[in-house]
Structure 1
Amino acid sequence: MTRKLRWQDIAQMFSCGRSKALLIVHQMRATYVGRTPFVDEDELEAFIREHGEIKLAWPKRI
């Protein structure tokens, strides 16, 4: 069984803050427990291998 990563784990891995970590989480298929999204560690690694990077696009301000 693979490890489930919270946004805090991803923020620590990529040395970024909460907002960027959540953008990364929402680019993949996240599993929610309550209001907390979790991403499979293997799925994150596969996503990076497949795409070579994680492109982030900030939502447009209204």
Structure 2
Amino acid sequence: MRILCLLFPFFLLLLQGAAGFSFAPGSKKECERIKGYCSFSNCYFPYVAKGVCSRFSICCKK
């Protein structure tokens, strides 16, 4: 029963960390992996912004 009391806070911390996890690309390599491209301006029509490639560019994907 003591082990259960110790494991419960561990699982809460584990789930809290997983809630902030994001699948948005954060680098040029990740953007290309999801078959997107990096753009310094807006994404053109069939593409939408899905993340960032660097500080000044965004990742565009269909």
TM over 0.5: no
Which structure has the greater CA radius of gyration? 2
More helix by share: 1
Query: How high is the TM-score relative to the length of structure 1?
Result: 0.27
TM-score by length of 2: 0.27
